Amino acid sequence: MRKQREKVIFAQRGNIARVLFYMNAVLWLVISAGILVEMLLDNNGLSTLLVGIFLLVNVTAMFLGGKMLAQKEKWTYIFALVVVVLNIALAFTGVPEPLYITALIIDGIILWVLISLRKIYFN
């Protein structure tokens, strides 16, 4: 009976975490587009390319974190946890702006959900 309940909890919270990962990836895609347009208007050549690559890696990591979370393996949990913690640090770089605050709130919720799922991944 307990195993069945754990499966239900895993499914519900896992789905919540995945949806939040995907939402955050889309949000960071919007933030990235804004940053890149601003940098292009300022004629920042090479730095625009480097920032663009870095932000694309961030969006990809968020998407993969959500996608791989469906697997019930320790390394996928650790990967998702590391991505969220690094993304929280990245969100602090632009805190006064509403999009960054929104990303920070979503990251906090994802972290809370992931922490609640740790027992399922480490059984």
Give residue 43's region: left, alpha or beta (phi > 0; psi -120 to 50): left
Full residue range of the structural domain in which residue 35 is found: 2-121
pLDDT bracket for residue 20 (50, 70, 90): very high
Total-model pTM: 0.86
| pLDDT exceeds 90 at position 112 | yes
Structurally, how many domains does the chain consist of? 1
Question: What separation in angstroms does the CA of 73 have from each of 67, 78, 82, 95?
Answer: 13, 9, 15, 33
Residue 18 CA to chain centroid, in angstroms? Answer: 9
Question: What is the reported pLDDT for 59?
Answer: 93
Q: Are 95 and 105 in contact (CB under 8 A)?
A: no
Task: For residue range 46-78, list pLDDT tens digits in order.
Answer: 887 788 888 889 999 999 999 998 887 899 999
